[in-house]
């Protein structure tokens, strides 16, 4: 697949397979390491040909800054109703009292994410520790069609 500019994109399954095990690196934006937003930025670029702002100046370790950024950004996306998630949607997740974590839906009920405590992995967001922390799911305008 290629986007309008001719750059090669990889399929989501290929991206997931390559992403599993990538370590958490604050401000990271490539397969050597990334934070949760960096994972989403690279997935959107590689899989969908969509450039998202990198926000490299925001530390994923500052939950207040990350939470404020997420609250600002989610206004630019369309909220997805529960059980209507599809691959490419972005989950906003609360850690403590702040919505300061994001993950990529890879299949309804499963998300790809990285956290400072874990390497990139696929986990359920419908069961276990994450189910009560999901703030919402959001779809980028370019994926809405």
Q: What is the domain extent for residue 78? A: 12-143
Task: Give the CATH number for residue 32.
Answer: 3.90.1720.10
Q: Report pLDDT digits (tens) over 38-92.
A: 999 999 999 999 888 887 777 766 656 656 666 676 667 888 999 999 999 999 8
Position 16 in a domain: yes
Please report whether residue 106 resides in a domain: yes
Tokens of 73: 């950004």
Strands (E), 46-117: 78-80, 90-95, 98-107, 110-115
Establish how many alpha carbons lie within 13 A of residue 36's alpha carbon, considering only the half-sphere containing its beta carbon.
31
Q: What is the pTM of this model?
A: 0.86
Query: How many independent structural domains does the chain possess?
Result: 1
């Amino acid at each position: 697949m290629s986007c309008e500019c001719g750059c090669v994109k990889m399929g989501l399954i290929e991206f997931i397979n390559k992403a599993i095990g990538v370590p958490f690196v604050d401000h990271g934006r490539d397969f050597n390491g990334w934070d949760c937003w960096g994972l989403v930025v690279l997935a959107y670029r590689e899989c969908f040909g969509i450039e998202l702002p990198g926000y490299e100046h925001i530390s994923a370790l500052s939950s207040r800054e990350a939470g404020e950024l997420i609250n600002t950004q989610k206004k630019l996306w369309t909220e997805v109703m529960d059980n209507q998630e599809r691959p490419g949607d972005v989950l906003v997740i609360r850690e403590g009292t702040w919505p300061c974590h994001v993950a990529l839906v890879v299949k309804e009920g499963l998300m790809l994410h990285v956290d400072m405590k874990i390497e990139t992995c696929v986990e359920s967001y419908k069961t276990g520790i994450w189910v009560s922390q999901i703030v919402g799911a959001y779809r980028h305008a370019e994926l809405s069609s």
